[in-house]
């Protein structure tokens, strides 16, 4: 089996990318762990924990872009991710529904 050639430039690029995106990666991972632990603690199944963790991780990743848009520091990504995992998908969806009901006019039926 041929071994991978040692290319220092590849490692430098990979480590630079990791250092640039570490707040996002850490926040998404913390969100996933918090969501999975919350579901397991509540008596949910492994499948529920995995799905909730994945959705919370994606929500956290999108929330980080919102933080950057408003000029907030990337150090807020970790607490935002942990709170996203703690609140969960259903609670965040309820908050979003209440916000849109308040801010957007009702559609006439």
Query: What are the DSSP calls for 54-98, one per residue?
Result: HHHHHHHHHHHHHHHHTT--GGGHHHHHHHHHHHHHHHHHHHHHH
Q: What would the pLDDT profile of 60-87 be if each residue is shown by its tens digit? A: 988 888 888 999 988 888 898 899 899 9
Residues 103 and 109: their CA atoms lie apart, in Å, by 18
Is pTM beyond 0.85? Reply is no
pLDDT bucket at 1, cuts 50 / 70 / 90 = low
| pLDDT above 90 coverage of the chain, percent | 42
pLDDT, residue 68, reads 87
Q: What would the pLDDT profile of 10-56 be if each residue is shown by its tens digit? A: 888 888 999 988 888 999 999 999 999 999 999 999 999 999 999 99
């Amino acid at each position: 089996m041929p071994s991978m050639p040692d290319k220092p430039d590849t490692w430098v690029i990979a480590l630079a990318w990791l250092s640039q995106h570490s707040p996002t990666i850490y926040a998404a991972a913390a969100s996933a762990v918090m969501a999975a632990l919350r579901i397991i603690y509540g008596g949910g199944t492994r499948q529920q924990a995995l799905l909730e963790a994945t959705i919370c991780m994606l929500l956290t990743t999108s929330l980080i872009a919102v933080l950057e848009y408003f000029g907030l520091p990337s150090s807020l990504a970790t607490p935002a991710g942990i709170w996203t995992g703690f609140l969960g998908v259903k609670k965040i969806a309820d908050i979003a529904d209440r916000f849109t009901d308040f801010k957007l006019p009702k559609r006439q039926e």
